[in-house]
């Protein structure tokens, strides 16, 4: 008897596609993360220092002297950045002492990349979930995950300490919960309250999201009027605790709400910023994330709000589009529209997980090969920063000469960032000009730096002295010329295969590797000296000496603490245990000079200060050799405090600076 054939139907849907896509994102980002660079960006450095302040002293303060920090009357300073990024770094700050103690100085570097790494994964996963709530099948949800995590600039930030990954994750969470609330029966009460709470987390991540995050809640307005009102009330209640915390911290740190960017403002020409952030080769969103075009097309096709049409679909589309448009407008008019560092349009990165699900919906309408091609092309476009960490070109830019600019351009830059050269011409830091030069585009600079780094040190130095933009803008090469080969090796280190966790094996003598935890611990010891608390400084410095394996800077801080406690013999004994060549280290020599001054040994004091002075340009220590000993500042903290551009709390301004 013939076997009856089973009827063939459509293949069951593979619901594991989003999980497999997320696993792929995690593996690729983990295997390409260069964890030497935690703390290389000023923003992230301050964020981590606040986390270490919380774990070491239970406060938010850090030493005065960090650029763009906010000074306090007590004598220290606070970070101007959102508190949530610092809170996410607290676990790393708690674990760092044990890791450094067991594995050596710098071994905790990977710990401080876990928060941004996990934030990128969360944002990518939420992009997939948003696609599902918008009606996508599992395969399309997987495409949304890939587009957000690897096919957009967001992935490049997984190995940085910028707050953009956390901003992206909190905005995406707000949007997903709002979609879930709109799709739930009974008004989606829990999801609505959670959406409000997520929006407040976004504000705690960055204050400017106070204007942006509510737009991600627009899906809550779908459905009957009674449900809409209930959702809005619940969202407001959910947001209230976070917003109260945000307001309290703003007043505590800055004296007013949204006052951490005083002296800066929206001074860049809006239209110029718009085209540069959309299509310029340096920061254009559509070049770094061309799938955004597909997202905009899908959003335009969303059902309208006319009678008989799907209001929920239009609100879901606006919930993704309006935050993106507002971020674009705010960034385009901001004085540093380019975001200074990072890959792609940094200030637009938080919106990418909102656009990725719509791009995936558009891709789902394409032929199978076209779908694969779009996703693959997006991933390839964002592969360069996985091969060369974004900190490397940014450090090179920062070491280039200041740029002479017209007065009209100078008036778009905050006065504190503008200096006059010997001829009275306005000059600005190089990134304000380089990000407008196509020859300084990441597509040009990244392969150029990789080629330069592959040569021997002398050839690398020669290459770095002749950047790709030399013809378009002469004179914007490295400030040091000729460039010493050992400096060139730091600016363009040889390529190495990095992975998240490699730093746990120790950094060795790698000149590129950072020690962000030890630097933050030293910052807390210095802060204690600035506040006149030598006993606290001593305890912190002793911990620093142990974990740093007796570094010169750590011993200098400990000796200075002992000096201020009236225990100068112990300070002398500590420094005399050092080999003679290490006693000539600038930090140690400076404390020797202060100790010698205290006991009236002027010849030794002057000999030591002459050794120390060149290492502290701009600080009082630099001019101390030519001054009478009684005119010297009182201690190490005062001797080393360099005047920097600090923030005077005020709200950002509108229009050009005078």
Please write the tens of the pLDDT for every residue from 77-111: 999 999 999 999 999 999 999 999 999 999 999 99
Same domain, 196 and 337: yes
Same domain, 492 and 533: no
Confidence band of 259 (pLDDT split at 50, 70, 90): very high
Distance CA 161, CA 516 (A): 11
Average pLDDT, the chain: 93
Provide the β-strand partners of residue 70. Answer: 78
Per the domain annotation, does 632 fall within a domain? yes
Helices (H) and strands (E) in the chain, counts: 32, 8
- pLDDT tens digits, one per residue of 297-339: 999 998 754 444 468 899 999 999 999 999 999 999 999 999 9
Q: Beta-strand (E) ranges in 487-544?
A: none
Residue 264 C-alpha from the chain's centroid: 19
Same domain, 462 and 590: no
Residue 273 CA to residue 288 CA, distance in Å, equals 16
pLDDT digits (tens, 9 = 90+) for 353-397: 999 999 999 999 999 999 999 999 999 999 999 999 999 999 999
In a domain, 294, yes or no: yes
Which of 578, 600, 567 shows the shortest CA–CA distance to 589? Answer: 578
At 12 the pLDDT is 56
Q: Do 150 and 25 touch, CB atoms closer than 8 A?
A: yes
- 């190089």: which residue's tokens? 430
Q: What is the largest CA-CA distance in the chain?
A: 114
Residue 623's CATH number? 1.25.40.10
Q: What is the pLDDT of residues 108-139, one digit of tens each?
A: 999 999 999 999 999 999 999 999 999 999 99
* Residue appearing with tokens 């830059």: 413
DSSP 121-172: HHHHHHHHHHHHHTT--HHHHHHHHHHHHTSSGGGGGGGS--SHHHHHHHHH
Q: Is 257 among the domain residues?
A: yes
Residue 657 domain flag: no
HEC string of 314-376?
Answer: HHHHHHHHHHHHHHHHHHHHCCCCCCCCCCCCHHHHHHHHHHHHHHHHHHCCCCHHHHHHHHH
What average pLDDT does range 517-534 have in this prediction? Answer: 97
Q: Is 556 within a domain?
A: yes
Helix (H, G, I), strand (E, B) or coil at 311: helix
pLDDT band per the 50, 70, 90 thresholds, residue 496:
confident
C-alpha–C-alpha distance, residues 521 and 511, integer Å: 20
Counting Cβ atoms within 10 Å, is residue 272 exposed (0-12), middle (13-18) or buried (19+)?
Answer: middle
Instruction: Please state the rounded mean pLDDT for residues 243-247.
Output: 98
Alpha-carbon span 161 to 114, nearest angstrom: 9
Residues 213 and 326 in one domain: yes
Is beta strand 403-404 parallel, antiparallel or unpaired with respect to 426-428? antiparallel
In a domain, 145, yes or no: yes
What is the percentage of the chain residues whose pLDDT exceeds 70? 96
Do residues 144 and 236 both lie within one domain?
Answer: yes
654: exposed, middle or buried (C-beta count within 10 Å: 0-12, 13-18, 19+)?
exposed
Amino acid 308: pLDDT? 40
Among candidate residues 318, 352, 387, the one where a domain is terminated: 387
DSSP 8-state assignment for residue 78: E
Q: Are residues 307 and 424 in the same domain?
A: no
Query: What is the band of 17 on the pLDDT scale with cuts at 50, 70, 90?
Result: very high
Q: What is the per-residue pLDDT across 392-426, written as a single tens digit (0 to 9) for each?
A: 999 999 999 999 999 999 999 999 899 999 999 99
Count of all residues that appear for the chain in the document:
658
Q: 241 and 335: one domain? A: yes
For 544-592, how does the pLDDT look when each residue is reduced to its tens digit (9 = 90+)?
999 999 999 999 999 999 999 999 999 999 998 888 888 899 999 999 9
For residues 563 and 487, membership in a common domain is answered with no
Whether the Cβ atoms of residue 524 and residue 533 lie closer than 8 Å to each other: no
Question: Same structural domain for residues 159 and 211?
Answer: yes
Residues 151 and 63 grouped into a single domain? yes
Residue 551 domain boundaries: 516-640
Confidence of residue 4 (pLDDT cuts 50, 70, 90): very low
Asked if residue 409 belongs to a domain, the reply is: yes
Residue 508 falls inside a structural domain: no
Q: What value does the CA radius of gyration of the chain take, rounded to a whole number of Å?
A: 27
Provide the pLDDT for residue 3. Answer: 47
* Of 464, 469, 508, the residue nearest 490 (C-alpha): 464
Q: Residues 463, 578: one domain?
A: no
CA distance 56 to 52: 6
Residue 345 scores a pLDDT above 90: yes
Cα→Cα distances 337→265, 413, 436, 461, Å: 11, 11, 11, 31
647/448 Cα distance (integer angstroms): 36
Overall domain count for the chain: 3
Tell me phi and psi for residue 420, to 5 degrees. -105, 135
Quote the pLDDT of residue 506.
Answer: 76
| Pair 293, 429 in one domain | no
Give first-to-last CA distance, the chain, whole Å. Answer: 96
**Average pLDDT for 242-268:** 95
Q: Which residues of 228-251 are buried (b: 16+ CB within 10 A; e: fewer)?
A: bebbeebbeebbeebbeebeebbe
Of 490, 491, 560, the C-alpha closest to 522 is 560
CA distances from 551 to 490, 519, 541, 582, 640 (A): 20, 11, 11, 10, 18
């Amino acid at each position: 008897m013939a076997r009856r054939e089973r009827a063939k139907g459509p293949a069951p849907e593979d619901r594991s596609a989003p999980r497999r896509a997320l696993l792929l994102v995690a593996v690729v980002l983990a295997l390409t993360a260069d964890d030497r660079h935690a703390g290389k960006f000023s923003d992230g450095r301050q964020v981590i220092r606040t986390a270490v302040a919380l774990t070491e002293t239970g406060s938010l303060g850090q030493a005065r002297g960090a650029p763009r920090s906010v000074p306090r009357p007590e004598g220290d300073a606070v970070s101007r950045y959102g508190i949530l990024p610092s809170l996410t770094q607290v676990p790393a700050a708690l674990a760092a002492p044990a890791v450094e103690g067991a594995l050596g100085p710098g071994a905790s570097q990977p710990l401080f990349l876990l928060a941004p790494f996990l934030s990128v994964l969360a944002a990518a996963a939420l992009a997939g979930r948003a696609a599902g709530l918008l009606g996508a099948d599992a395969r399309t949800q997987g495409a949304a995950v890939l587009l957000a995590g690897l096919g957009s600039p967001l992935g490049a930030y997984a190995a940085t300490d910028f707050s953009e990954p956390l901003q992206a994750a909190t905005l995406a969470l707000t949007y997903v919960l709002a979609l879930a609330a709109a799709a739930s029966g009974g008004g989606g009460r829990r999801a609505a309250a959670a959406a409000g709470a997520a929006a407040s987390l976004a504000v705690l991540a960055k204050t400017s999201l106070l204007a942006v995050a509510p737009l991600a809640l627009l899906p809550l307005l779908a459905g009957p009027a009674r449900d809409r009102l209930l959702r809005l009330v619940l969202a407001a209640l959910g947001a209230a605790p976070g917003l109260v915390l945000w307001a309290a911290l703003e007043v505590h740190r800055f004296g007013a709400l949204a006052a951490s960017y005083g002296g800066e403002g929206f001074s860049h020409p809006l239209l110029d910023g718009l085209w540069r952030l959309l299509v310029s080769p340096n920061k254009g969103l559509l070049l770094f994330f061309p799938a955004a075009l597909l997202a905009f097309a899908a959003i335009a096709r969303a059902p309208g709000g006319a009678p008989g049409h799907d209001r929920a679909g239009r609100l879901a589309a606006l919930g993704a589009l309006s935050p993106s448009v507002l971020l674009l407008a705010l960034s385009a008019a901001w004085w540093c529209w380019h975001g200074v560092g990072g890959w792609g349009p940094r200030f637009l990165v938080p919106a990418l997980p909102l656009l990725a699900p719509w791009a995936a919906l558009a891709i789902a309408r394409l032929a199978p090969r076209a779908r694969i091609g779009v996703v693959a092309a997006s991933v390839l476009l964002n592969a360069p920063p996985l091969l060369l960490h974004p900190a490397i070109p940014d450090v090179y830019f920062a070491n280039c000469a200041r740029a002479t600019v017209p007065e009209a351009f100078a008036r778009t830059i905050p006065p504190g960032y503008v200096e006059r050269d010997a001829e009275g011409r306005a000059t600005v830091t190089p990134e304000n000009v380089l990000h407008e030069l196509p020859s300084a585009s990441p597509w040009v600079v990244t392969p150029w730096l990789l080629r330069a780094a592959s040569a021997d040190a002398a050839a690398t130095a020669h290459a770095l002295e002749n950047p790709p933009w030399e013809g378009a803008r002469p004179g914007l090469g490295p400030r040091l010329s000729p460039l010493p080969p050992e400096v060139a090796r730091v600016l363009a280190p040889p390529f190495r295969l990095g992975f998240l966790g490699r730093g746990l094996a120790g950094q060795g003598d790698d000149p590129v590797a950072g020690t962000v935890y030890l630097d933050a611990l030293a910052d807390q010891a210095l802060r204690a000296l600035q506040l006149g608390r030598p006993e606290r400084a001593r305890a912190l410095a002793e911990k620093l000496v142990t974990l740093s394996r007796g570094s010169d800077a750590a011993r200098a801080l400990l000796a200075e603490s002992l000096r201020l406690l009236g225990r100068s013999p112990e300070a002398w004994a500590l420094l005399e245990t050092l080999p003679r060549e290490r006693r000539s280290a600038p930090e140690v020599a400076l404390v020797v000079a202060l100790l010698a001054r205290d006991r009236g040994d002027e010849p030794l004091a002057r000999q030591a200060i002459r050794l120390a002075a060149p290492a502290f340009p701009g600080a009082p220590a630099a001019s101390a050799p030519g001054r009478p000993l009684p005119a010297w500042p009182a201690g190490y903290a005062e001797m080393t405090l360099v005047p920097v551009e600090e923030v005077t709390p005020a709200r950002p301004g509108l229009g050009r600076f005078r």
